Structure formats: C-alpha cells, structure tokens
C-alpha cells in the first residue's frame, strides 16, 4: 500500500493537508534536516574548539539557539498541516463520524483563534525590537530574526488551522448527510 492509498483510506477528518502543501512540506522537512545537521556540526566544532583547543568560538551558542527556535516553528507548521499535533484520542475514538468531525472542527478553530492572537502579539513585539535596533550580544544579529520565527510559526499555524476548519466543516456536513442517508434509517 502506497502513502497515497493510506491517506485516501483515512477518514476525512484525519487526512492531512494535501495538494498544495506536499511540495512545501517536503522542502520544509529537507530544510529542517539540513538545519539539524548544521547544528550538530556547529556543536561539534564548539566542543572541540572549547575543550581540545581551549578556544571559544564566539556566537555558536547564539546560532544554535536561533536555529532551534526556527526549527520548532517550522515543525509546528508541519505538525499542524499533517494533523499530527497532540490530541486526546480518548474522546474522538468513542464518537461517530459526525461527532469526530465536530471535535476536529472545534480543535482547529481554537488553534486558529489562539494562533492568530499570539501571532499578532508577537508581530507587535517584533516591531518594537526592530524600531530600537536590538541585536544579539555575541554576533550582533538583529533580534527580529529569531523573534520573527515565532510570528511566522504562529501566523502560519493559524492559517493552516483555518484551512483545516474549512475542511472539517465540509467533513461535518458530509458526515451529516451520510448519517441521514444510511440504509434502514430515516423515512422511506
């Protein structure tokens, strides 16, 4: 069974975002892998230079922290698009397709609203630190770079969640029509 067959076999409310997201999703995964490899290399350079050569490379710690922030935010976009975020399956496995679709819709609506609010607050903070030209201590990088990761991650998650709300609403309507048209139920 191919990955496409597995996705098609999933109930609609459990399907990841497909189509437009597949290429950017692959690119994001590749970028995350490359960033992680670069971070490991920087960590090795830092450890060897510090402990074997008694030389401290200035700024590696900052780069590692900033890269980690971006990795988490890009990962959050992937997790949301794939519907693989933390969820309580205790309830969703015990309800029918209509109830499951309603719970997913509520779940994604909460993510969209909270993500939008948090992204707006983050954006306002990034504007303030940009206006005062705040830089990092070691590398003197503009601090809007790491802080923008939060804004990008939260705004992107909110946008993806809004798309999932739309998908979930369609699934909820489809589940309702399936329940009404089930054989042996309803009026003849």
The pLDDT of 118-137, averaged and rounded, is 96
Q: Which pLDDT tens digit goes with each residue over 69-106?
A: 999 999 999 999 888 877 667 777 788 888 888 888 99
* Burial class for 161, CB neighbours closer than 10 Å (0-12, 13-18, 19+): buried
| pLDDT digits 0-9 by tens, 145-180 | 999 999 999 999 999 999 999 999 988 888 766 555
Residue spans of the domains in the chain: they are 12-180
Write down the pLDDT at residue 98.
Answer: 84
What's the rounded mean pLDDT across residues 2-7? 49
């Amino acid at each position: 069974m191919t990955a496409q067959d597995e996705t098609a076999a999933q109930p609609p409310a459990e399907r990841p975002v497909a189509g437009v997201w597949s290429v950017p999703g692959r690119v994001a995964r590749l970028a995350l892998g490359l960033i992680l490899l670069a971070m490991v290399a920087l960590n090795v350079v830092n450890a060897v230079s510090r402990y074997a050569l008694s030389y401290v490379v200035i700024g590696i710690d900052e780069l590692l922290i900033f890269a980690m922030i971006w990795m988490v935010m890009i990962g959050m976009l992937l997790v949301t698009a794939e519907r693989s975020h933390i969820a309580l399956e205790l309830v969703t496995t015990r309800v029918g397709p209509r109830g499951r679709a309603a719970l997913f819709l509520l779940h994604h609506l909460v993510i969209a609203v909270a993500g939008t609010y948090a992204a707006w607050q983050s954006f306002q903070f990034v504007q303030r630190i940009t206006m005062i030209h705040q830089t990092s201590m070691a590398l003197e990088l503009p601090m809007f770079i790491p802080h923008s990761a939060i804004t990008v991650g939260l705004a992107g998650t909110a946008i993806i969640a809004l798309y999932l709300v739309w998908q979930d609403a369609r699934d909820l309507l489809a589940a309702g029509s399936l329940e009404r048209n089930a054989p042996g139920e309803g009026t003849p």
